[in-house]
Structure 1
Amino acid sequence: MASPIIISIPHQLGRAEARRRIGAGFGKIVNLLPGSSGRASERWDGDRLTFSVAALGQSVCGVIEVFDATVTMEIELPGVLRVIASGLKERLQKMGQLLLTKK
């Protein structure tokens, strides 16, 4: 089994605002997954978001954790989706940075 995609994004928003922005922008993150229907199951447990989404007929699972100065994403890509892991990691990193840019 391949290693998960792990992304760490620093921010200066504070935990509550970063969590709010991740929650509000979660659909944008899901839409970056190739072949995703845009429908995901998601569950917040404190500042930890656990999710699953169907993409190209497979289940992609992940966790997003919000901390005081960083947000980390850990996403497991099954089968054929592992081939696109590096390009996907870059797009997820950019989307996360856009969501967490102080405005």
Structure 2
Amino acid sequence: MSKAVTVTIPHELGRAEARRRIDEGFGQLAGHLGGAPGALNKTWEGDVLRFSLTAMGQAISGVIDVADHAVKLEVLLPNFLAMIAGKVKGKLQKEGQVLLENKSKKPT
């Protein structure tokens, strides 16, 4: 049975900058799901990115919704990958935070 994984990542970049970073870095994020670069399809509909990729012979699809202060990522994992959904969720959360980190902030 397939399993949906949802991750919400807060950010302070604004919608346009968050969308730009996701667009530029999405190939790396997809790579963390095990997808080959040529196996990735993505389409923007406003501030919503719909994607699909093949990883380990399995079809993965999802949606990234970019808002002013958060990004919501929903990934539908097929049967085989659903068994490791917890690991996938943790990896997406971590890599998404790195991608959306505000590099202009100075440590306090």
| Class of the TM-score when normalised by the shorter of the 2 chains | over 0.9
Aligned to 2:12: 12
Residue identity in the other structure for 2:44: W
Number of aligned residue pairs: 102
Aligned to 1:81: 81
Unpaired runs of 5+ residues, structure 2, are 104-108
Moved >3 Å (runs of 4+):
none
Unpaired runs of 5+ residues, structure 1, are none
Q: Structure 1 CA distance, aligned partners of 2:89 and 2:3?
A: 12
Question: Normalising by structure 1, what TM-score?
Answer: 0.94
Residue identity in the other structure for 1:91: K
* Contact 2:6-2:72 within 8 A present in 1 as well: yes
Q: CA RMSD in A?
A: 1.0
**Percentage identity across aligned positions?**
47
Question: Normalising by structure 2, what TM-score?
Answer: 0.90
* Contact 2:2-2:79 within 8 A present in 1 as well: no
Describe the superposition over 1:46-99 as per-residue Cα deviations: whole angstroms up to 9, x where unpaired.
Answer: 000000000111110000010000000000000110011101110100110001
